[in-house]
Each structure stands twice: as structure tokens, then as C-alpha cells.
């Protein structure tokens, strides 16, 4: 599903040049649940952004489903991302002005799914995430765990092949954290590829493979 | 919190206030000047203008704002309620006079005025005894500015007018200039009434005819107007030659007393223009203030935490009010200073646009109104932000203030959209009306016509000049003429020889040469053109228009006027004029003061004021060739070759001024609105940057992000524009009331205006959101 070859990412300012990724080569197969770990500043989030087509690498190749996507333009990246990749963030990143239902519906709208089908799919996913009773609430009226469930619902409502999660339990207590990890595990069990950045050894234990990063380089790959 | 610190939108606030105040205050000052027009009239409430009325059999009663010379003195003598009376009549204007030392000086207007002139139209007498001067033939008073132009010390000197070189007049006094907002602002020379006979036919004692005098009376404060009107009627019954009047076809004649108090604002043109200017001014001020408040609200995202922290530390609401009023005062003063600079730099433009100087605009007459406006602006810009700050909850000291207040912001923007659209619609209407007036077919062709005012020349020299000009290769035809087609023409009554009854009044163009038809592109429909008089003189023959021929058929049963003789009341019975041709109807005057009477013109080159010429093409070279010829032949006469089309455009100067003022208002209003819109979008982009990033992450394209903003603006902009169009249409119809000949107001024009505003708004939104829509969403999410 994912193949990276010698991916480098360098951030440049007028005076400083910082290498975030120093040449990453890795592969993620369909249906895998991969955890990326490492200390702060090792390049985990940068790698996730590149995997999610939110950012382009400075060098190297990135194949997604056999297609080179490493150097696409913004518009092409957007179209490639749509419907293929779902995102779950540590800080949930829900839109405060939209209700739970509208938040979940949004990616379907951008995908051009007809209204009736959108409604049906949103209802299904809300039931599955156990948030139907909160459909008309706004994000700030929900607990952290509920918000993250909404974020996961929004990420998976388009039935993506790949879900990228950036420290999905970072803002949650252990009970809600476990619920989220159970959801991701369940999605993975249904065939969705999951790549998750985490600090938590506990969360990483839900993955089938762990990749450790240090100073922008892969230092260890562990099969669990 | 420094009022000029970054993030407070000080630049936008000051720019808006400067533009709004400059246009708004200037226009309000102009309106105020119109409201205080002719303040120099003493005891204005009791001063009345005398206007003659007359009626012919089968025709409507007509009223003219002039009388015969003897009317005012008779009323002063015979009506007990009349305290004082005066009259004046114009004689010379826009020409030069020559002092006895040979120096030549331009003056604006010279009128004959009687000795009571200053009793009603007050101004200070600087030198001389006004009563005595204006009672003595050959004496005059001049304005201070003319005196200064002549170098001062001019009392006792004599001068001659360029158009009356052998008739000296002595300067015996100097008076203070009349204010610019008065009827008498252009008066440079007041000649004594007994001097009339030196320069023109003396009709100062006439009770009927020669009705060229502007006459005024002041009544006693306790005068009963009904009684006075009755007395005037009774007096006229006694003194007017009723038998003669009846014989010449009049059934009634009278004098109407029209109050001068508020008379300026009763004129449709002035009133409508004032309404339009006041609306534009208020729109500008309102828009500027709203923009100020809009920026304050928009900057709350960045300022709320500071305010909340101050509150936590013990700041009282009063301090926020005082602080925001202080900020507003500082911004207002800066804007006023910039306004002063702008006005100083654009004082010539201001004078051209408003017809008054900047110093008059901001004088004692307007000071109170302008001060009140500035204080209102200060209070609005100071108190409202203070109120908003004082209501920020303390808790915002500890968390991000992201309250959108979009309803507020969009409401303010909505007002601005309404007002800008309204002004654009009015501007389009005025623009189209001006073009309509300028390009309407007047029945003659003037696009290649130029002319020279030859009032300074005499005798055969005019005839010679016309022929010399005609010999130039760039000139097709010339004609010496008494008047220009766009000027107001004298009126004369027409009679059939042997019949005493005056049949109708016609516009008499007096004398013109045979080249007139070709030069002005007139069409002869019956008969023939004039034959050229090859010397200075005239022939007793005339050309008339179709209207004349038709009228003659209606009132005298004459089927064909060609070859028939008629009497014209100016030339009298001894000079019957034979109609040699009928020309297709054409329009004298302009569309503002269009001549409705039949037209006649006599063959000749006497009493000529103008040499008119049809050029092969209007080019600077051709005009220069004619000018060089004039300068070479008559170097002292200072002849100026001018384009007739410019003269025509001058007829519509008021409309042009209104158009230009509304255009400035419209551009300024649009500018302020766009500044507000840019500020709004910028702040919304900042406030919603996280949301936009999220939307992009989950699949929104650049155009979808931009559309998101466009939709939120469209929701408010489209209804606002619709309201603006409706208001604009209403104001346009109001504006059109002042024009006798008006352009149609089709809905398509208003639709185009609306579309234009929509496009401008869309362009601003798309340009402003382009950056955020293009940016990498990760950057925004990182900031979170």
C-alpha cells in the first residue's frame, strides 16, 4: 500500500536548515496496523504528514497504491487524498461551528456523494461509534472521548483504505484512550490500513508493527 | 493598548475616516452653503422678488423672473407697505475693460444697479458713497477683488469696456466682495442706473416691455400679503396701458411677489442636487464610522485577552470607554489632518467640482454643522467600541477568544453594500443623463464647429475676419452671428403688417450671415438660404423654423410663410421682414433651458458677437491655425478660438458637477467598503484558519475553500445589493425630476450595476482568500 524510498524532508528558513527526515525507506502493506514511535522532534509527525499527502518530501519517492505521489501539486494531492486517506488527530480537529453530524458529513460532501447516501452513511457510522444521541451537538458540548470518536467517524465515513492517526489518545484519559484504540483495532481488523504515531508503548501494543525513528531516521522495525 | 499598535487596524480605521470625512464633510459643507445662500439679503423674510405675469388669449399664464424697469420704483412710491425697492440688470460680462493708463483687466459681470441696491443686498462699502455713486450717470463701484486686480488705488480712474470702447465709466467706489454662495458673487462692477442710456436703450421708467430688470421690494414686517397683492393689482389696473395690451393680444398682465426666503432651496435643480449630495455625504460618513466599528470588532480576536487581563487586574468599564474615546479622538484628529492635506492639495479640483473655494466651504457659515458631525463621529467611534470592550468576559484572560460576532460584522458590511450599490446606481443614472444631454440631436451639427467672440471688434473688421478665416484651408465655412445657438435668446413678438395684434412671441436670434445654415448644418425645407451681404450691413429678410411656419398657420391661417412679410417688435413697422426660407426645427438653448418658442433669424452681419466656423476636422493644428490668424490680424483684441462643443458642455456644468461629485462619493464609498470587506475577510481567514486547514485535510480544494467564504459573503451581499438597487432606483427617479428631457431608466442598467458590485466583491474575496486556500494546512494545524 505504502512504499517510501529514501524520503528526506528539509525545512529551510533564511538562516537555518533543519533536516526533519534524513532518508526514510519503508513499506506498509495493505491491512497492516503500524505504529511509529520515537522521541519528540524525531520526525514522526513530518513522516505522517508526508504519508497523508499533507506535505511533499524534499527528496525521495513515495508510492501510494502503486502510484508515485511524492511530488504532486496541492490540487492533485487533495484529489488523491479524498476518499483514500482518513485522519485522526491528537487534538481532534473538529470544526466548532458544525454539529457532530455535519462534521462527519463534510468529507462525503467534498467527495460529491449524493445527499441521501450521505445521510445514510453518517447515520450508520454514528451508530457504530455510539454517538448518534449527540448528532446535533457541537464539538465543544462533547467530552474528549466523544470528540475523538466523532473525529474517527469523520475519518472513516468515506471508507478509506488508509487511516493516519497522530497520537489519537494523547488528549484522552485511559478509559477513553482504550475505547479509541479498540475502534482503530476494529477498523484494522475490517481491512483498513492504520498508521499511527504515538509516544505510548501501550498504544503501540495494539499495532502489528512498530517503526522507531530517531533524528529523522528509522532505527528499528519491530514485528509484534 | 496603543491606538496605532499592530493588529488594531489603525491604518484601515484612519484611511476610512479620512476618505469618509473628506468627501462627507465637503459635501455637507456644500449643502450647508446652499441652505445659507444669499444671506447678504437684509431682512430676508420680508424681501420679495417681483415677477411679471402675462397671458394671451387661449394660452396659459406665463411668469418671468424679471420686470420692466419702472415697476420697482412705482411700487416703492405707491404701495405703503413697501419700505424700499431696488432693481438691477446685467449688461457686460466675461470680457476685459481698459483703464485710462491702457492696462486691460478681465472682469466677470457688470450690472446697472440703482441707489437702493445695498439697502437690500448688503455688503460693506469700502470706498465712496454708494447712494450718491449709483445715482450719478457715468459712475460705478467695483468689487474689492477687481480693485486689487487693478492694483488698488483705482478710485477716480476711468475705463472703457472692450465691447463699448468709446464710452468711459468712472470708478468712484469699492465694495466688499459678495460671498461665493450668493447671486451677486460674480458681480464685479455696479454701474449707476442713470448710465443705462449710455450703453443700451433706456427702459428704466418703462412699465411694460424691455423686461430685463431684476426687481425686489422689502415690505414692512407687519405687511398683510393679501392686502399688498390687492394693492399691486389695483395699481397695475391704474397705470398699465390696458387698451394697448388688449390690442396686441394680451388678456391679462400682473406682478407676482415671490418671497426670497428659502427661494434657492425651492429650485428643483438645487433641491434635488442638495438631496443627492446630502445622501452621498451621509453615506460616506456612515460607511466610514461603520468601517471603524467593523475593524474594532474584527480586532477583538487579538485584543480580547489584553482587555480581559486588564479587567482581572482591576480596570473599570469607564477606563475602556475613556480609552476607546481617546483612541477614536486620536484617529479622528489624524484623519482630519490628512483631510486638510488632501483638501490643500486638491483645492483647485474642489473649486471646479463645487464652484466654491475650500475656504468658503469651511467658513463660519458651515462650521457649526461640520463640528457637530465630527463630534457625532467621535462619539460613535469611541462609545461603541468602549461598550464592546466593557462586555468582554473576564474568563477570556485564560482562553482564546474566538467569538465570531459575524452577525455584527456582516450587518455592518450589509449596510456598506447597500450604500455603495445605491451610489453606483445614482452615478450611472447621472452619467447616462449627462451623456444623453451632451449627445442628444439638437437639430444641428456642432461637432466640427468652433467660434470666436468678436465683441472687441467693430465695423467691417468682423466681416473681414470672417472672410479671412474662411480662406484658411482647414475651414469649410464661416458665419458672423449675433448669438450662439446654445445661448438664451431674446424674445420678440411677431405681427402681420397692417394688423396691430401681436401673434406670438418668438426667439429672435437677430442677425446672422448666409453661412449659418452650412456652418451649423441646418436643413432648409422650403425656400432658400440667405444671400451673402458683402459688406457690413443687413437685409430685411429672415429664415424661420418649421415651428414658426406651423404657428403662423394656426394663429393667422397663413399656409406658406415663404415670401410673406412680417413685423418683428424689435425692428418695428418700418422694417418688415420677408421670410426667404424655412429650416427644419432645431433646438436653441440646452436641454436644461430648452427654447420652446418659434425661431427667427435675420440676414446680416451687424451687432455681431461671434464668428462661427465649420472646421474640416477638429484638430489642435486647425484650431491653432485659426487662433494664429486672429492673433496676427487683431493682436490687441485678445480673440480666443473655442470649440462649440465645449460651450455646449458648459451648459450642463451643474449636471457634470453633480456627476463628478457622486462619482467621487461612489468611488470613496466603494473604497471604504472594500477596505472593510478586506478587513473582514482577513480577520475571518485568521479566525477560521484552523477550520480551513481541517477542511483542506479532509478533502476541500482551493476553490471550495474560496467558495466557502464567497457563500458567506453572498448571503449578505445579494440581498443588500438588491436593497441598494431599489434605493438607487428611487433616488435616480428623484434626480430625474429636475430634467425636462431625461434618459430612460431601464432595469438592465441597474442589473449591470448590481453585477458590477457582485464582481468587485467576489474579486476581493477570491484574492483575499487565495493565500490561505493555497497554503499548506499543516502550517495552520501546527500553530494549534
Interface pTM, i.e. ipTM: 0.85
Q: What is the pLDDT of residue B303?
A: 67
Model confidence at B676, in pLDDT bands (50, 70, 90)?
confident
Q: Answer whether residue B428 shows pLDDT above 90.
A: yes
C-alpha separations of B274 from B29, B41, B87, B269, B649 in Å: 11, 21, 29, 8, 22
- Which residues touch B710 (CB under 8 Å, ≥6 apart)? B762, B765, B766
Label residues A50-86 b or e (16+ Cβ within 10 Å = b). bbbbbbbbbebebebeeeebbebebeebbebbbbbbb
Q: Answer whether residue B784 shows pLDDT above 60.
A: no
Where do we find the cell 425697492? B85
Alpha carbon B50 to chain centroid distance? Answer: 25
Q: What is the pLDDT of residue B301?
A: 62
Identify the residue with better confidence: B187 or B279: B187
Model confidence at A220, in pLDDT bands (50, 70, 90)?
low
**For residue B404, which residues of chain A lie inside 8 Å, CB to CB?**
97
Mutation target vs A (from B688, B699, B775; most A CBs, 10 A cutoff) = B699
Interface of B with A (CB under 8 A): 402, 404, 690-691, 693-702, 704, 774, 776-778, 781, 784
Residue range B315-334: mean pLDDT, rounded: 84
Worst-scoring range by mean pLDDT, A84-98, B77-91, B406-420?
B406-420
Asked if B778 and A55 come within 8 Å (Cβ–Cβ), the reply is: yes
Where do we find the cell 517510501? A4
Residue range B391-405: mean pLDDT, rounded: 58
Alpha carbon B429 to chain centroid distance? Answer: 16
Determine contact: A74 vs chain B, CB below 8 A: yes
Alpha carbon B251 to chain centroid distance? Answer: 37
Comparing CA positions, the residue from B48, B144, B156, B163 lying closest to residue B104 is B163
Residue-wise pLDDT tens digits, A127-146 = 988 899 999 999 989 988 89
Residue-wise pLDDT tens digits, B399-415 = 555 555 667 778 888 88
**For residue B698, which residues of chain A lie inside 8 Å, CB to CB?**
87, 106-107, 110, 154
Cα–Cα distance, A212 to A38 (Å, whole number):
5
Q: Answer whether residue B85 shows pLDDT above 90.
A: yes
Q: Which three cell numbers stand for residue B616?
A: 474640416
Which residue in the set B697, B699, B784 is minimally distant from A91, CB to CB?
Answer: B784
Q: What is the pLDDT of residue B6?
A: 52
Any idea how long chain B is? 784
B-contacting residues of A 81-110, CB under 8 Å? 81-83, 87, 89, 91, 93-97, 106-107, 110
Comparing CA positions, the residue from B23, B18, B28, B17 lying closest to residue B290 is B17
Mean pLDDT of chain A: 88
Determine contact: A76 vs chain B, CB below 8 A: no
**With pLDDT > 90 as the criterion, what percentage of chain B qualifies?**
39
Comparing CA positions, the residue from B167, B166, B164, B118 lying closest to residue B141 is B118
Confirm if A97 and A135 have CB atoms less than 8 A apart.
no
Nearest 5°: the CA angle B696, B699, B705 is: 50
Cα–Cα distance, B400 to B301 (Å, whole number):
8
Model confidence at B619, in pLDDT bands (50, 70, 90)?
very high
Q: What is the DSSP letter of B589?
A: B
Asked if B699 and A95 come within 8 Å (Cβ–Cβ), the reply is: no
Cα–Cα distance, B394 to B450 (Å, whole number):
76
Nearest 5°: the CA angle B417, B423, B424 is: 85
- Which residues touch A196 (CB under 8 Å, ≥6 apart)? A33, A34, A35, A36, A164, A165, A166, A168, A184, A203, A204, A207
CA atoms within a 13 Å half-sphere pointing along the CA-CB vector of A125: 26
Q: Answer whether residue B396 shows pLDDT above 70.
A: no
Q: What is the pLDDT of residue B407?
A: 73
Mean pLDDT of chain B: 86
Q: Answer whether residue B1 shows pLDDT above 60.
A: no
Cα–Cα distance, B764 to B784 (Å, whole number):
27
Confirm if A120 and A127 have CB atoms less than 8 A apart.
no
Confirm if A13 and A7 have CB atoms less than 8 A apart.
no
Residue-wise pLDDT tens digits, A61-71 = 999 988 999 88
Model confidence at B214, in pLDDT bands (50, 70, 90)?
very high
Residue-wise pLDDT tens digits, B451-493 = 998 887 877 888 889 999 999 999 999 999 988 988 877 778 8
Neighbours of B366 (CB within 10 A): 22
Label residues B318-332 b or e (16+ Cβ within 10 Å = b). eebbebbbebbeebb
Q: Is the pTM of this model over 0.80?
A: no
Model confidence at A223, in pLDDT bands (50, 70, 90)?
low
Which residue in the set A74, A110, A154 is minimally distant from B704, CB to CB?
Answer: A110
DSSP string, B735-767: HHTT-SS-----HHHHHHHHHHHHHHHHHHHHH
Cα–Cα distance, B7 to B3 (Å, whole number):
10
Q: Answer whether residue A38 shows pLDDT above 70.
A: yes
Cα distance from B690 to chain A (closest Cα, Å)?
A: 8
Residue range B542-557: mean pLDDT, rounded: 91
Cα–Cα distance, A181 to A168 (Å, whole number):
8
Q: Answer whether residue B84 shows pLDDT above 70.
A: yes
Cα–Cα distance, B217 to B144 (Å, whole number):
26
**Rounded-to-5 percentages of helix, strand, coil across chain A:** 35, 30, 35
B-contacting residues of A 112-131, CB under 8 Å? none
**For residue B778, which residues of chain A lie inside 8 Å, CB to CB?**
49, 54-55
Q: What is the pLDDT of residue B176?
A: 95
Q: What is the pLDDT of residue A164?
A: 92
Cα–Cα distance, B190 to B137 (Å, whole number):
12
Cα distance from B712 to chain A (closest Cα, Å)?
A: 13
Q: Which three cell numbers stand for residue A1?
A: 500500500
**For residue B697, which residues of chain A lie inside 8 Å, CB to CB?**
52, 54, 81, 87, 93
Where do we find the cell 463701484? B141
Residue-wise pLDDT tens digits, B501-516 = 778 888 888 889 888 9
Alpha carbon B689 to chain centroid distance? Answer: 51
Residue-wise pLDDT tens digits, B563-616 = 999 998 878 888 899 999 999 999 888 887 777 889 999 998 888 889 999 999
Determine contact: A49 vs chain B, CB below 8 A: yes
Highest mean pLDDT among A78-92, B59-73, B124-138: B124-138
A155, closest residue in chain B (CA to CA): B698
Q: Answer whether residue A224 shows pLDDT above 60.
A: no
Q: Answer whether residue B74 shows pLDDT above 90.
A: yes
Residue-wise pLDDT tens digits, B114-172 = 999 999 999 999 999 999 999 999 999 999 999 999 988 899 999 998 878 888 999 99
Label residues B438-460 b or e (16+ Cβ within 10 Å = b). beeebbbebebbbbbbbbbbeee
Comparing CA positions, the residue from A86, A40, A4, A48 lying closest to residue A197 is A48
Q: What is the pLDDT of residue B489?
A: 79
Q: What is the pLDDT of residue A136?
A: 93
Amino acid at each position: 500500500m505504502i512504499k517510501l524510498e529514501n524520503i528526506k524532508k528539509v525545512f529551510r528558513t533564511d538562516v537555518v536548515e533543519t533536516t526533519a527526515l534524513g532518508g526514510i525507506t519503508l513499506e506498509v502493506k495493505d491491512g497492516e496496523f503500524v505504529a511509529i514511535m520515537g522521541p519528540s522532534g524525531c520526525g514522526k509527525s513530518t513522516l505522517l504528514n508526508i504519508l497523508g499527502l499533507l506535505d511533499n518530501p524534499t527528496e525521495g519517492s513515495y508510492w501510494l497504491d502503486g502510484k508515485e505521489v511524492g511530488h504532486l501539486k496541492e490540487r492533485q494531492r487533495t484529489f488523491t487524498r479524498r476518499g483514500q486517506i482518513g485522519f485522526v488527530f491528537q487534538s481532534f480537529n473538529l470544526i466548532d461551528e458544525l454539529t457532530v453530524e455535519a462534521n462527519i458529513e463534510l468529507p462525503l460532501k467534498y467527495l460529491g456523494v449524493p445527499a441521501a447516501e450521505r445521510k445514510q452513511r453518517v447515520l450508520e457510522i454514528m451508530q457504530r461509534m455510539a454517538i448518534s444521541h449527540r448528532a446535533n451537538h457541537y464539538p465543544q458540548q462533547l467530552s474528549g472521548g466523544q470528540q475523538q470518536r466523532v473525529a474517527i467517524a469523520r475519518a472513516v465515513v468515506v471508507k478509506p483504505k488508509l487511516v493516519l492517526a497522530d497520537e489519537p489518545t494523547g488528549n484522552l484519559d485511559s478509559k477513553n484512550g482504550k475505547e479509541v484504540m479498540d475502534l482503530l483495532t476494529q477498523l484494522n481488523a475490517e481491512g483498513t490500513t492504520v498508521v499511527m504515531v504515538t509516544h505510548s508503548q501501550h498504544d503501540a501494543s495494539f499495532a502489528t508493527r512498530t517503526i522507531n525513528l530517531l533524528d529523522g531516521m528509522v532505527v528499528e522495525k519491530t514485528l509484534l | 493598548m496603543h491606538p496605532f499598535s499592530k493588529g488594531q487596524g489603525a491604518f484601515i480605521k484612519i484611511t476610512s475616516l479620512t476618505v469618509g470625512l473628506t468627501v462627507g464633510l465637503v459635501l455637507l459643507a456644500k449643502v450647508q452653503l446652499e441652505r445659507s445662500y444669499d444671506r447678504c439679503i437684509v431682512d430676508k423674510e420680508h424681501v420679495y422678488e417681483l415677477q411679471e405675469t402675462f397671458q394671451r388669449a387661449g394660452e396659459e399664464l406665463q411668469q418671468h423672473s424679471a420686470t420692466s424697469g419702472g415697476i420697482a420704483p412705482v411700487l416703492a412710491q405707491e404701495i405703503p407697505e413697501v419700505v424700499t425697492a431696488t432693481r438691477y440688470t446685467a449688461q457686460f460680462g466675461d470680457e476685459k475693460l481698459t483703464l485710462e493708463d491702457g492696462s486691460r483687466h478681465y472682469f466677470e459681470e457688470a450690472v446697472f444697479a440703482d441707489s437702493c441696491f445695498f439697502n437690500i443686498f448688503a455688503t460693506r462699502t469700502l470706498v465712496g458713497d454708494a447712494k450718491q455713486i449709483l445715482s450719478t450717470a457715468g459712475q460705478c463701484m467695483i468689487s474689492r477683488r477687481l480693485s486689487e486686480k487693478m492694483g488698488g488705488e483705482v478710485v477716480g480712474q476711468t475705463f472703457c469696456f472692450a465691447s463699448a470702447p468709446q464710452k468711459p465709466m468712472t470708478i468712484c467706489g469699492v465694495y466688499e466682495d459678495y460671498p461665493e454662495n450668493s447671486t451677486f458673487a460674480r458681480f464685479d462692477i455696479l454701474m449707476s442706473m442713470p448710465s443705462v442710456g449710455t450703453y443700451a436703450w433706456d427702459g428704466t421708467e418703462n412699465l411694460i416691455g424691455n423686461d430685463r430688470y431684476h426687481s425686489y421690494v422689502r415690505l414692512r414686517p407687519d405687511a398683510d400679503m393679501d392686502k399688498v397683492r390687492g394693492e399691486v393689482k389695483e395699481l397695475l389696473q391704474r397705470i398699465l396701458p390696458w387698451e394697448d395690451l388688449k390690442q396686441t393680444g394680451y388678456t391679462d398682465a400682473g406682478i407676482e411677489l415671490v418671497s426670497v426666503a428659502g427661494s434657492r432651496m425651492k429650485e428643483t435643480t438645487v433641491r434635488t442636487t442638495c438631496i443627492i449630495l446630502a445622501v452621498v455625504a451621509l453615506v460616506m460618513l456612515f460607511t466610514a464610522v461603520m468601517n471603524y466599528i467593523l475593524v474594532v470588532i474584527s480586532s477583538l480576536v487579538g485584543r480580547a485577552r489584553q482587555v480581559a487581563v486588564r479587567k482581572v487586574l482591576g480596570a473599570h468599564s469607564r477606563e475602556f470607554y475613556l480609552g476607546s474615546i481617546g483612541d477614536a479622538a486620536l484617529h479622528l484628529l489624524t484623519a482630519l489632518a490628512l483631510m486638510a492635506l488632501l483638501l490643500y492639495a486638491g483645492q483647485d479640483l474642489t473649486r471646479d467640482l463645487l464652484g466654491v473655494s475650500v475656504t468658503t466651504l469651511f467658513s463660519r457659515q458651515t462650521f457649526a454643522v461640520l463640528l457637530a458631525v465630527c463630534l457625532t463621529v467621535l462619539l460613535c467611534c469611541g462609545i461603541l467600541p468602549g461598550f464592546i470592550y466593557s462586555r468582554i468576559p473576564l474568563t477570556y484572560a485564560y482562553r482564546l477568544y474566538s467569538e465570531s460576532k459575524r452577525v455584527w460584522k456582516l450587518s455592518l458590511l450589509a449596510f456598506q453594500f447597500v450604500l455603495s450599490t445605491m451610489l453606483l446606481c445614482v452615478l450611472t443614472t447621472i452619467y447616462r443623463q449627462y451623456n444623453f444631454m451632451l449627445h442628444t440631436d439638437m437639430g444641428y451639427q456642432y461637432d466640427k464647429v468652433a467660434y470666436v467672440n468678436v465683441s472687441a471688434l467693430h465695423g467691417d473688421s468682423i466681416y473681414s475676419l470672417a472672410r479671412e478665416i474662411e480662406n484658411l484651408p482647414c475651414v469649410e465655412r464661416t458665419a458672423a452671428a449675433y448669438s450662439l445657438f446654445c445661448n438664451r435668446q431674446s424674445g420678440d413678438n411677431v405681427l402681420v403688417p397692417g394688423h396691430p395684434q401681436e401673434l406670438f412671441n418668438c426667439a429672435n436670434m437677430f442677425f446672422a450671415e448666409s453661412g449659418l445654415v452650412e456652418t451649423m448644418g441646418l436643413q432648409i425645407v422650403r425656400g432658400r438660404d440667405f444671400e451673402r451681404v458683402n459688406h457690413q450691413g443687413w437685409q430685411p429678410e429672415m429664415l424661420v423654423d418649421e415651428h414658426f411656419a406651423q404657428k403662423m398657420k394656426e394663429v393667422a391661417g397663413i399656409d406658406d410663410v415663404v415670401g410673406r412679410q412680417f413685423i418683428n417688435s424689435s425692428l418695428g413697422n418700418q422694417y418688415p421682414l420677408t421670410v426667404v426660407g424655412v429650416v427644419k426645427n432645431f433646438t436653441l438653448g440646452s436641454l436644461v433651458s430648452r427654447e420652446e418658442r418659434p425661431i427667427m433669424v435675420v440676414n446680416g452681419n451687424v451687432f455681431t458677437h461671434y464668428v462661427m466656423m465649420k472646421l474640416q476636422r477638429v484638430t489642435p493644428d486647425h484650431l491653432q491655425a485659426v487662433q494664429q490668424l486672429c492673433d496676427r490680424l487683431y493682436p490687441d483684441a485678445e480673440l480666443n478660438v473655442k470649440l462649440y462643443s465645449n460651450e455646449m458642455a458648459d451648459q450642463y456644468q451643474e449636471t457634470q458637477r453633480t456627476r463628478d461629485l457622486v462619482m467621487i462619493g461612489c468611488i470613496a464609498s466603494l473604497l471604504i467598503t472594500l477596505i472593510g470587506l478586506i478587513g473582514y475577510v482577513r480577520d475571518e481567514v485568521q479566525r477560521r484558519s484552523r477550520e480551513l486547514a481541517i477542511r483542506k485535510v479532509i478533502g476541500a480544494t482551493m476553490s471550495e475553500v474560496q467558495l466557502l467564504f464567497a457563500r458567506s459573503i453572498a448571503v449578505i451581499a445579494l440581498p443588500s445589493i438588491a436593497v441598494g438597487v431599489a434605493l438607487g432606483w428611487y433616488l435616480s427617479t428623484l434626480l430625474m425630476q429636475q430634467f425636462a428631457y431625461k434618459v430612460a431608466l431601464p432595469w438592465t442598467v441597474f442589473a449591470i450595476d448590481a453585477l458590477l458590485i457582485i464582481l468587485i466583491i467576489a474579486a476581493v474575496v477570491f484574492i483575499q482568500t487565495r493565500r490561505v486556500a493555497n497554503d499548506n494546512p499543516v502550517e495552520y494545524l501546527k500553530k494549534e
